[in-house]
Amino acid sequence: MAEQVMEEKVTVLISEEEVDRRVREIAKKISEDYAGKSVRLVCVLKGSVFFTCELAKRITVPVTMDFISCSSYGNGTESMGRVKITKDLDEPVKDKHVIVIEDIVDSGRTLNSLLALLSTRKPASLRLCTLLDKPDRREVDVKVDYTGFQIENKFVVGYGMDFDQKYRNLPFVGVLEKE
């Protein structure tokens, strides 16, 4: 029997120009908020890579960058909202003004746990910046300080975000549809 192949189609949700414009606005706001200070951008791998880099290029206060990678524990423990760090930061964040950069806040579990973990390391301040927010999907409370766009509950790819490791390189945010 012939194997049925599922077709995937990506349609533009937020264009390259719109993302670019919003990234500049957020970078301006961060530069104003942190005037006279320097910021440590903590990029949550891998989906936030493009966003972090584009943002960093446009922030006018001194910037340092570090990278962290985490995955949720499976099943039972996942429901406790715990994350497993699969690649930790290279540098301590103690006394640093840290901004965690995320691609998308969905249930909020990953960020909730990650922020709790980072706060135990005594940064001078700790804020969260996300490109996308799906508020309808929230299960745990997360205070988001900078949001690019609020979106509906659709599965998005592009601008760093993947499906099965594909589509990260798309310059826009698109909705993945399967036919």
Question: Is residue 46 a contact partner of residue 160, using CB atoms and an 8 Å limit?
Answer: yes
| Residue from the set 43, 109, 126, 127 that interacts with ligand 5GP by CB under 6 A | 109
Nearest to 127 by CA among 142, 111, 144: 144
Interacting residues with ligand 5GP between 139 and 168 (CB under 6 A): 155-157, 161-163
Identify the active-site residue in 103, 106, 133, 164: 106
Nearer to ligand 5GP, 39 or 132 (CB): 132
| Nearest CB to ligand 5GP, comparing residues 34 and 167 | 167
Q: Which stretch binds ligand 5GP (CB under 6 A): 3-11, 15-23, 61-69, 97-105?
A: 97-105
**124/54 Cα distance (integer angstroms):** 24
* Consecutive H or E run containing 130: strand 125-133
Nearer to ligand 5GP, 34 or 130 (CB): 130
Task: Single out the residue of 101, 105, 129, 173 in contact with ligand 5GP (rule: CB under 6 A).
Answer: 105
User: Is residue 103 involved in binding ligand 5GP (CB under 6 A)?
Assistant: yes
Q: What one-character-per-residue DSSP string does 40-69 give?
A: EEEEETTTTHHHHHHHHHH--S-EEEEEEE
Annotation says 106 is catalytic: yes
> Contact at 8 Å (CB) between 16 and 172?
yes
Residues 45-84 that bind ligand 5GP (CB under 6 A): 47
Query: How far from the centroid of its chain's Cα atoms is residue 94's Cα?
Result: 22
Where b means 16+ CB within 10 Å and e means fewer, 77-107 reads: eeeebbbeeeeebeeebeebbbbbbbbbbbb
Q: Does 133 bind ligand 5GP (CB under 6 A)?
A: no
# residues contacting ligand 5GP (CB under 6 A):
17
Binding site for ligand 5GP (CB under 6 A): 47, 102-111, 155-157, 161-163
- The catalytic residues are 106
